[in-house]
Chains A and B, each alone.
Chain A
Amino acid sequence: MADNLLSLSGVHTHIGPYHILQGVDLTVPVGGVTVLLGRNGAGKTTTLRTIMGLWTASKGDVRFEDHVITRLSTPEISRRGIAFVPEDMGIFTDLTVGENMLLAAANGPIDDKRLAWIKELFPPIGTFWNSSAGTLSGGQKQMLSVARAIIEPRRLILIDEPTKGLAPAIIKAMTDALRELKETDTTILLVEQNFAMASSIGDTVAVMDDGRIIHSGSMAELAGDAALQEKLMGLSLEAHQ
């Protein structure tokens, strides 16, 4: 197996008349957390959605475990072991927490042992199993969204801004959970704006701007280099003010 679980080469994505991704080259190594940083509108969410097949790349290749998945449908991509936690969480609010989890187990019945682990990781999943998901708080919905993504073993989880709009205590709890998840045989591609959180769990990092990757390397290197942070983040801000 290649060192990279996922790689994007020269990926372009158009949404209607807009040319959002303009040649994205990105690699996600096997294991650990790769963080995708960038200002609003840089193309991070579009990158995740393109990987997931929700928007189709107009040019370039997306490879997963050495197979080109660019033209596969979203269900086919999902069944190859890629889970997606969207920015809006994608919770089915009309269904109960348990029903959300049941649907997420697309390949068969829920594994009791794994469910017990998830309930330990996210206690509200067990507490509110029979409650309508629509009545959960924002943090609980985010936990349900991540829990749904890991109800079955996955090779790769794409998580889009899991801490957005959450209280600091919930952010810490979510970070702890992702750190524990990182210890399993799961690779995470995380889109995050909260640099403190991202740098605390990230192993590798890629920074996006204007639909392209403008930097990639180790998270430790970026976290320890204030000038580089200033250059990358400052560049983005100045260029668009």
Chain B
Amino acid sequence: MSETSIKPRIEKVPLSEQFFQKLPVMLVPFLAVAGLIAIGNPASWLTLTVAGLAMGMMIFIMASGLTVVFGLMDVINFGHGAFVAVGAFVGFTVLAWLAGWTTSPSVIMNLAAVLIAILVAMAITGLLGLAFERVIVMPVYGEHLKQILVTMGGLIVAQQMIYVVWGPDELHLSRPEAFQGSWVIGEAAIEKYRLVAVGIGLALFVAMRHILKNTKIGLLVRAGVENGEMVEALGYRIRRLFLIVFMTGSALAGLGGVMWGLYQETITAHMGSEIMVLVFIVVIIGGLGSVEGCFIGAMLVGLLANYTAFLAPKVALISTIALMVAILMWRPQGLYPVVKAK
């Protein structure tokens, strides 16, 4: 093809559209500033903001797997909460085994105990995800109604299995010594564990972005979210990719379960289904299939829930739903809708 016949030209995105695309990123600082104005007291605002970010990070950890599973596999998994609950209970058991480490004054021993609990929980929920995908999800690919029914069934079975293994009672999950208490900065009290949660959440987000942007498997996931059929036509077995993504999503839910359990300090068999309301809100706000959207959505939900709980506790009950309604009225496909091939 000759250079003279066609002059390469690229369509330039207008500045106004570029601004519109970047706008969702600005919502988090905008909400933080609005919170500062509404709360008035900087110390209270700082405490609430860290609490909100920590809550948001934990919701992001739980929601990120769900959104990628939906985007890539077009699977609505109402059973995702099962992995959260199982992760929390496995984490509880591991931390109980390592009680000597968690009660030690050594920060390294405490960190090691939490790390081992997280890794074991992720391994077990990842394997559970493997079984869940093969037995429950695979027969109903492409059938949303059946997916909802069978994955909810899977959730109920998982909850009953938790009753069988760990009993029906609420369990207390103690944080290791090093994660208890707060740091006082000026008049603000910042819980240590919340900062740990923010750190883990941020690290996970950066790692996920790196994998999605810079590795071949990440490229395959992004391409598969957009057009799975074409990925297959290029010679890749997308079912294998589905399984890897489903197991990873389940493992992340398990990680989220351990983090959430340590945050709440109590765990129940129903904790997964309870947190799923917030998880689904975040996934919908972010745009189904979008990791970036999921991250921003989680931050917004975390911050808003904490600010409204402080300012108007009764409003807090509906604040996240109201946020979702407002964002969907603005962007019906969510903050960062994933373009899917028809």
Q: Which residues of A contact B (CB under 8 A)?
A: 52, 54, 73-75, 78-79, 83-84, 86, 88, 90, 92-95, 99, 102-104, 106-107, 120-124, 127-128, 131, 134-137, 139-140, 143, 148, 169-170, 172-174, 176-177, 180
A-B contact pairs, 16 of them (CB 8 A): A54-B229, A75-B232, A75-B235, A78-B234, A90-B341, A102-B216, A103-B216, A103-B223, A106-B235, A123-B1, A128-B8, A137-B11, A172-B5, A173-B2, A174-B1, A176-B5
Most chain A CB within 10 A, of B3, B8, B216, B227, is at: B8
Known: A90-B227, A94-B223, A103-B236. 11 other contacts (CB 8 A): A92-B222, A93-B226, A103-B234, A106-B235, A123-B6, A128-B8, A136-B11, A173-B1, A174-B1, A176-B2, A177-B1
A107 engages B230 (CB within 8 Å): no
Q: B11: which A residues are within 8 A, CB to CB?
A: 135-137
B8 engages A95 (CB within 8 Å): no
CB of B237 closer than 8 Å to a CB of A: yes
Q: Which residues of B contact A (CB under 8 A)?
A: 1-3, 5-6, 8-13, 216, 219-220, 222-223, 225-227, 229-238, 338-339, 341-342
**How many contacts between A and B, using CB within 8 angstroms?**
103
B339 engages A134 (CB within 8 Å): yes
State in angstroms the CA–CA spacing of A68 and B2 once bound together: 40
B8 engages A102 (CB within 8 Å): no
Q: B3: which A residues are within 8 A, CB to CB?
A: 123
A73 engages B6 (CB within 8 Å): no
Smallest CB gap from A126: residue in B? B8
Q: B235: which A residues are within 8 A, CB to CB?
A: 75, 78-79, 106-107
B226 engages A121 (CB within 8 Å): no
Out of A54, A122, A131, A174, name the residue touching B233 (CB < 8 Å). Answer: A54
A103 engages B6 (CB within 8 Å): no
A90-B227, A128-B10 in contact; A74/B339 too (CB < 8 A)?
no
Q: A121: which B residues are within 8 A, CB to CB?
A: 1
A106 engages B236 (CB within 8 Å): yes
State in angstroms the CA–CA spacing of A94 and B222 once bound together: 7
Smallest CB gap from A174: residue in B? B1
Which 9 residue pairs across A and B have the least CB separation, nearest first?
A: A90-B230, A78-B235, A106-B235, A127-B8, A74-B232, A124-B8, A92-B223, A84-B233, A173-B5
